[in-house]
Structure 1
Amino acid sequence: MPLLRTSLLSAEPSGVLESLDELFALAHAMEQEAADKYDSLAKEMRVQGKDDLAEVFTHLAAAEREHMDSVTQWSQSRRGKRPDPAMVRWEAPEALAPDAAAEVKTSRLMTPYRALAIAVRNEERAFAFWSYLAAYSHDPEVKKASEAMAKEELGHVATLRKERRRAYHREHERSNVETALPQIDAPRLERRLVAQLGDMEQRLSGPAAVRIRDLRQQTVEMADAAAGVGSFAASMERKGPLEIAEALVDGYLDGAERSNDAAHLESLQQLAERAISRLAWLRSLAMD
């Protein structure tokens, strides 16, 4: 199963889910672990006197507990009972990578922006995990529920990216020089990404090449759908595919936040969702 041998997942999941009961148990356990780790980091930050970071991690822990409640309600709705921890057969990806937790605790350069960036990456890993399980599940109900979990994680990514962007703007003043640079729109940047994905496809084989081909076709469609959207520094065209893909995510989210037109807002939200999914896949696909 090489499709998600990844930079997001340190190892492939140990198997597939056999039932909805097992899925709900695993989802609940993952959210519980994330909440506990964020709570622990919040306490550590308070001990170190870093109240701004403590507030960020307290907020993240609260969000994870809300996700736990959602899973519980879903389980009760579908199965008539709460998730059963005994149904968890194998370990899910860690909610917070050990190196990330160590960085939070020891880095003197840690800021709310960087803390939220770590949280974004964690949600992207969760998306990759549920996407993997959806792809390889044999049970139609489990496959559908795993797809729903993956979609839910994309929503979490979008929310955290917005918060991360706000934190960035609080920490940095936008440079007048940057805004004076030549600009390009989203369709042009999407077309540049199309070319890069074509190059990547030539270097890959098997499932990874198939996935890149699919992403390339989606990107062609997104270039058409993004007409008149976005403003990016022209120098972004010289960046790599991951940087371009991430810039496009932020561009669509920014546009959606500022839009006052319902139809335009819906279009931007759809573009943002597809762009977030694309970015997560690009990060997770094997590149060697």
Structure 2
Amino acid sequence: MPFLRTSLLSAEPAGVLKSLDELFALAHAMEQEAANRYDALAEDMRGQGKADLADVFTRLAAAEREHVDSVTRWSQSRCGKGPDPALVRWEAPESLDPESAAEVKTSRLMTPYRALAMAVRNEERAFAFWSYLAAYSHDAEVKKASEAMAREELGHVATLRKERRRAYHRQHERDSAAASAAPQPPIDARKLELRLVAQLAELEQRLTGPAAVRTREIRQQASKMAAAAGFGSFPASMERKDPLEIAEALVDGYLDGAERASDPIRLESLQQLAEQAISRLAWLRSFLAN
């Protein structure tokens, strides 16, 4: 349980559930909040003209509404009534954290695969939440129901992982077709970092004051990162992208590399690069937005 808490939950739940009524009220609120957030993202994607992403979030919202109905039926069968929102005593973990929602809205590299990967993480967080409550519940019925909720969320994780794999294969097929039409050797993270260094140097020349100083610091950091980043594989066309897209691709590259790394030293190096790249991306997004 400590692993679940530290790796998936940003904070421990604020307490324990004391009754099935409270459990159903909280579960209903969590599923409804998830449906509303996915609906909002679908609408936002439609406004941006991203029909494929709008379709993904529409389907996710529909699935969450089915979960809402399932909790309602469960509550009626066990307690003889539907969930009561007034019984939600403390704030549950958000189904979609603000950082993920912001990434969907601002990312230029967001794809159905990445959107589904984010949804998988959200369901894993819900699984950890219910597992935690089951482990620390003092009421036998609440404990059993929390375990059932955890198993339900695990089933959602499995379903979304299958969806994610299908999205990955579709994306890979499209990328392969594009590459065969205009074959170019892939580039590594080092080359992409150096391209970002050159772009930041151009940007720095147009700035003055604190913005110029911060851009210089980011550029110098990118130079050091390039020396440690002789790995990875990116489409050659990525070199022609703007600084924001390059910075975002590098974050993905370092995170993917860390996920696959088996050597502890390599893992630590990739994690450090990922942390620096995430901080850099956040600054670039904020700066370029202003």
RMSD: 2.0
8 Å Cα contact 1:27-1:71 kept in structure 2: yes
| Alignment partners' CA distance in 2, 1:45 and 1:28 | 26
Tell me the SS of whatever aligns to 2:82: coil
8 Å Cα contact 1:17-1:23 kept in structure 2: yes
Q: What letter is aligned with 1:166?
A: R
Structure 1 91/77 Cα, relative in aligned 2: closer, same or farther at 3 Å? same
% same residue: 83
Shift of 1:117: 0.2
Counterpart for residue 171 of structure 2? 171
| Alignment partners' CA distance in 1, 2:92 and 2:162 | 26
Q: What letter is aligned with 1:142?
A: V
8 Å Cα contact 2:124-2:154 kept in structure 1: yes
Structure 1 156/237 Cα, relative in aligned 2: closer, same or farther at 3 Å? closer
Counterpart for residue 162 of structure 2? 162
Q: Deviations over 1:242-264 (max 9, x none)?
A: xxxxxxxxxxxxxxxxxxxxxxx
Runs of 4+ in 1 over 4 A off after TM superposition: 1-4
| Alignment partners' CA distance in 2, 1:34 and 1:107 | 20
8 Å Cα contact 2:41-2:57 kept in structure 1: yes
For normalisation by structure 2, the TM-score amounts to 0.60
Shift of 1:6: 1.6
Counterpart for residue 98 of structure 2? 98
| Alignment partners' CA distance in 2, 1:238 and 1:50 | 33
| Alignment partners' CA distance in 2, 1:74 and 1:10 | 29
Shift of 1:146: 0.1
Counterpart for residue 144 of structure 2? 144
Counterpart for residue 74 of structure 1? 74
Counterpart for residue 239 of structure 1? 262
Residue 57 (str. 1) matches residue 57 (str. 2): yes
Q: How does 1:243-258 map to 2 (within 5 A)?
A: none
Residue 132 (str. 1) matches residue 155 (str. 2): no
Counterpart for residue 37 of structure 1? 37
Residue 6 (str. 1) matches residue 29 (str. 2): no
Q: What letter is aligned with 1:37?
A: R
User: How many aligned positions are there?
Assistant: 181
Tell me the SS of whatever aligns to 2:40: helix
8 Å Cα contact 2:8-2:124 kept in structure 1: yes
Q: What letter is aligned with 2:152?
A: E
Tell me the SS of whatever aligns to 1:7: helix
8 Å Cα contact 1:123-1:153 kept in structure 2: yes
Counterpart for residue 21 of structure 1? 21
Q: Deviations over 1:212-243 (max 9, x none)?
A: xxxxxxxxxxxxxxxxxxxxxxxx996379xx
Q: What letter is aligned with 1:13?
A: P
Q: How does 1:171-210 map to 2 (within 5 A)?
A: 171-173=171-173
Q: Deviations over 1:115-140 (max 9, x none)?
A: 00000000000000000000000000
8 Å Cα contact 2:5-2:128 kept in structure 1: no
| Alignment partners' CA distance in 2, 1:49 and 1:91 | 34
| Alignment partners' CA distance in 2, 1:18 and 1:101 | 32
| Alignment partners' CA distance in 2, 1:59 and 1:168 | 17
Counterpart for residue 228 of structure 1? none
Q: Deviations over 1:85-105 (max 9, x none)?
A: 000000110010110000000
8 Å Cα contact 1:44-1:105 kept in structure 2: yes
Q: Greater relative contact order: 1 or 2 (C-alpha under 8 angstroms, separation 6 or more)?
A: 1
Counterpart for residue 120 of structure 1? 120
Shift of 1:3: 6.0
Tell me the SS of whatever aligns to 1:164: helix
Q: What letter is aligned with 2:262?
A: K
8 Å Cα contact 1:4-1:12 kept in structure 2: no
Tell me the SS of whatever aligns to 1:172: helix
Which of the two has higher C-alpha Rg? 2
Shift of 1:8: 1.3
Structure 1 240/60 Cα, relative in aligned 2: closer, same or farther at 3 Å? farther
8 Å Cα contact 2:5-2:132 kept in structure 1: no
8 Å Cα contact 2:38-2:58 kept in structure 1: yes
Shift of 1:4: 4.5
8 Å Cα contact 1:25-1:88 kept in structure 2: yes
